Amino acid sequence: MFNHYFFRGAAACSAYKKFLSHTTAEEIILVMDPPFGGLVEVIIHTIRRIMADWSCDTNDGRELPVFWFFPYFLEHWIVKGLPSLRMLHYKVDYDNHVLYHKGSRGAKHGSPVRLFTNLPPVSIKLPQEEGYRFCAKCQCYVPSDIDHCNKCDACTSKDGRQYRHCDKCQRCVKPSHVHCDKCNQCHLVDYKCSDGKVTGCHVCGDLDHKRRDCPNRNMKKTKRPICKRTAVEISDGDITEDSSLDVNSGRQRKKLKKCH
């Protein structure tokens, strides 16, 4: 995944090429669930390479569809590297992981893992019974208990909580953050900003807290999950609002399960 290496040599490589050359955008999707410590730039390099192989083999004008499971706080780097990707609000739970699931023993705000995709977000229907609703302004599914921010014109929550709009920062911020006039941005109340400079967090890259305050500081200490229960299913045909991907749909052509 990181170096596009084929363990079974030329035969495996030609099987890969043959598979790519016979698939249309409706029949293929690149699913990646890499270790969360993996470098975003390297993974993007591999995705771009597979995208190039596919479009060169098929002459399909569209981009190879991608599903990439990764933590929400790396969104900035993912979208910067592959601007066609959008982060969905769906919290991806893992049955066999100590942190990435909901419930009393899971992470404080539920799993930080999200799905990044270049398919239209409107086409991926998130289940109402798991607490999602459709936001017509964003044209995507969002947690039902968060409001659309009219100033940002988006459902701005990243971690699943309702964010608060700060007029001074001109963006929505986490509910636990307050505006600091010293460094002219919002951060945690007990964050010690020195000389008005914020150097940011070494764990998740956020500028509004330091490593010791990082809600995700345990990420690198934990082992990655082995297998995920949640399956995302794709319905037949062109993706429109009517024939959308439905996590609960009975009409499935492909069932994508994460297993390593």
88 binds Zn ion (CB under 5 A): no
Cβ distance to Zn ion smaller for residue 166 or 256: 166
Q: Residue from 20, 169, 247, 256 that binds Zn ion (CB under 5 A)?
A: 169
125 φ, ψ to 5°? -80, 120
Here's the x/- map for Zn ion, 92-131, by CB under 5 A: it reads as ----------------------------------------
90: closest CA among 204, 245, 251, 255? 245
Q: Which two tokens stand for residue 252?
A: 């499935």
Cβ atoms of 71 and 34 within 8 Å: the answer is: no
The minimum distance between CB 203 and Zn ion, in angstroms, equals 4
Cβ distance to Zn ion smaller for residue 45 or 179: 179
Transcribe 44-86 into DSSP letters. HHHHHHHHHHHHHHH--SSPPPEEEEEEGGGHHHHHHH-TT-E
Element containing residue 249 per DSSP (H, E): none
Q: Residue from 40, 107, 172, 219 that binds Zn ion (CB under 5 A)?
A: 172
The minimum distance between CB 24 and Zn ion, in angstroms, equals 32
Residue whose pair of structure tokens reads 């302004």 in the numeric block = 137
Cβ distance to Zn ion smaller for residue 157 or 235: 157
Q: Residue from 119, 203, 234, 245 that binds Zn ion (CB under 5 A)?
A: 203
Residue whose pair of structure tokens reads 């082992």 in the numeric block = 223
Q: CB under 5 A: which stretch of 77-85, 93-101, 182-190, 238-246 binds Zn ion?
A: 182-190
Beta strand pairing status for 66-71 and 177-180?
Answer: unpaired
What is the Cα 212 distance to its own chain's centre? 24
204 binds Zn ion (CB under 5 A): yes
Q: Residue from 180, 219, 232, 234 that binds Zn ion (CB under 5 A)?
A: 180
Q: Which residues does residue 125 pair with via DSSP β-bridges, in sequence order? A: 246
In eight-state DSSP terms, residue 179 is E
Here's the x/- map for Zn ion, 149-168, by CB under 5 A: it reads as x-xx--x---------xx-x
Amino acid code (one letter) for 202:
H
246 φ, ψ to 5°? -130, 120
179 binds Zn ion (CB under 5 A): yes
48 binds Zn ion (CB under 5 A): no
Task: Summarize as ranges the residues that interact with Zn ion (CB under 5 A).
Answer: 135, 137-138, 148-149, 151-152, 155, 165-166, 168-169, 172, 179-180, 182-183, 186, 193, 201, 203-204, 206, 214
